[in-house]
Amino acid sequence: MYKSSTAVACNNNIEYKNRLFVYEVVGLSQNGNTKNLNYSIRNSGSVYLTVPYNRMNQEMQRISRLGGRIVSITPVNKENPVLEMSNSNQSEQQQQNSKSMTQAKEKVKVPVNIYRPKNPYVGKCLDIYDLVGEGGIGTCRHMTFDLSEGDLHYLEGQSIGIIPPGEDENGKPHKLRLYSIASTRHGDNLDDKTVSLCVRKLEYKHPETGELVEGVCSTYLCNLKPGDDVAITGPVGKEMLLPDDEDANIIMMATGTGIAPFRAYLWRMFEEGDLNPDYNFKGFAWLFFGIAKTPNILYKEKLESMQQQNPDNFRLTYAISREQKNPEGGRMYIQHRIAEHADELWELVQNPKTHTYICGLKGMEDGIDEAMSKAAEKHGVDWIEYRKQMKKEHRWHVETY
């Protein structure tokens, strides 16, 4: 089903791996560390290092250890083998470079709207189980639907629509609700014939009457039994696709069910092995996961065993708001963990191979921006402008709801 698209991705990977990049580095001349580098320092104080694609990460870390700071990264290609370029050229080149290296949406044909609301795919619920442990807050379930009777297929990071049965208060059929896909393209049964979701049952007190209100679609989904039929649309979404680059750094920031797309990424990176001959992840994945209590850590055992088995490639950082304290003594939310690691994250996001993904509660972005602003400010950089540039380069991805 994906043969032609993965072949393109594979060719692209080979091309990238043969490419060279020039790092412009400052700060090395001031700290006496130049003996560790075989490059002369210009009058401007800059050092130019030519780095092969597959050494970009290591070189970045070495420069950082030596106290240097990379101010630009420029690809050297056949047409333009010159090391020094004008600033405008550099930014154009940087943009082209990161575009070509990054989004799967540019290389793989992304399936969209195979099934629409007027003609949804009806699939059976195969499996459904609780994700919140004893003593946790609320209800959240993992559920898997059978796709074997149709043509519905998808990529990691996409969403599907669910149409709950029945009518709304105006007597019209319920509208669809979107849910992030929590499984890889191969599905939890590894046969390319299922799709899984991670759904939290919406429950709140009515602001006027104080009565308990249950969300229409999330309650319907959480109450499903194996064998029940479900109307599915989609897939949709290109914002949260994973890059094909096996050496990419993938920073993930999730709150609650925002873990869903990241479950798909992590399973693809660390669980599926031979199923993905064109994707052998060798990069670095870092998951920040914000939840209320330990029993609310969705997929906890699996995440932790994955981390233990891949200690060099996967880092896992929890913010458990009702159990851990932030430095001011208040609840530990995800933005406090981002603040704690902001300098490391700032180093990482400057690498054109780094993609940042945010998924979960609406509003979580502000705290992340605040933390990153402080780190960027130390280097005289306006974080909001920098983030906009990352967005243009398809390296900053947000899906909140």
Give the tokens for residue 349: 């996001």
Measured from the CB of residue 39, what is the shortest distance to ligand FAD in angstroms? Answer: 47
Of 8 and 216, which has the nearer Cβ to ligand FAD?
Answer: 216
Total residues contacting ligand FAD (rule CB under 6 A)?
20
x/- site string to ligand FAD, residues 120 to 159, per CB under 6 A? ---------------------------------------x
Question: Considering only residues 19, 141, 177, 395, which one is a binding residue for ligand FAD as defined by CB under 6 A?
Answer: 177
Of 62 and 174, which has the nearer Cβ to ligand FAD?
Answer: 174
Q: Residue 265 carries which side chain, given as an amino acid letter? A: Y
Backbone angles phi, psi at 307, to 5 degrees: -65, -40
Residues 56 to 95 in contact with ligand FAD, rule: CB under 6 A: none
Measured from the CB of residue 380, what is the shortest distance to ligand FAD in angstroms? Answer: 36
DSSP letter (8 states) at residue 202: P
Name the one range near ligand FAD by CB under 6 A: 30-38, 92-100, 192-200, 324-332. Answer: 192-200
Greatest pairwise CA separation for the chain in angstroms: 77
Of 139 and 249, which has the nearer Cβ to ligand FAD?
Answer: 139
- Counting contacts by CB under 6 A, is residue 204 touching ligand FAD? yes
The closest alpha carbon to 365, from 318, 399, 329, 330, belongs to 399
Question: Considering only residues 24, 156, 245, 399, which one is a binding residue for ligand FAD as defined by CB under 6 A?
Answer: 399
Name the one range near ligand FAD by CB under 6 A: 90-98, 178-186, 346-354, 389-397. Answer: 178-186
Question: Considering only residues 28, 152, 198, 264, which one is a binding residue for ligand FAD as defined by CB under 6 A?
Answer: 198
What lies within 8 Å, CB to CB, of 317 at 6+ separation is 286, 287, 288, 289, 337, 341
Count Cβ atoms below 10 Å from residue 43 Cβ, excluding itself.
5
Measured from the CB of residue 254, what is the shortest distance to ligand FAD in angstroms? Answer: 10
Residues 250 to 279 in contact with ligand FAD, rule: CB under 6 A: 257, 260
Q: Single out the catalytic residue among 179, 318, 333, 386.
A: 179
The closest alpha carbon to 371, from 354, 353, 356, belongs to 356
Give the tokens for residue 103: 């989004």
Whether the Cβ atoms of residue 222 and residue 233 lie closer than 8 Å to each other:
no
Helix (H, G, I), strand (E, B) or coil at 223: coil
The closest alpha carbon to 262, from 243, 238, 284, 287, belongs to 287
Question: Considering only residues 202, 315, 340, 374, which one is a binding residue for ligand FAD as defined by CB under 6 A?
Answer: 202
Helix (H, G, I), strand (E, B) or coil at 19: coil
399 noted as active-site residue? yes
401 noted as active-site residue? yes
Measured from the CB of residue 195, what is the shortest distance to ligand FAD in angstroms? Answer: 12
Helix (H, G, I), strand (E, B) or coil at 308: helix
Q: Single out the catalytic residue among 5, 72, 159, 180.
A: 180
Give the tokens for residue 126: 């195969």
Q: Single out the catalytic residue among 299, 359, 386, 393.
A: 359
Residues 211 to 250 in contact with ligand FAD, rule: CB under 6 A: 215-219
Label residues 75-98 b or e (16+ Cβ within 10 Å = b): bbeeeeeeeebeeeebeebbeebb
| DSSP codes of every residue in 337-389 | HHHHTHHHHHHHHTSTTEEEEEEESTTHHHHHHHHHHHHHHTTT--HHHHHHH
Q: Which residue is nearest to ligand FAD (CB)?
A: 215
Binding residues (CB under 6 A) for ligand FAD: these are: 159, 177-180, 198-200, 202, 204, 207, 215-219, 257, 260, 399, 401
Residues belonging to the active site:
179-180, 359, 399, 401
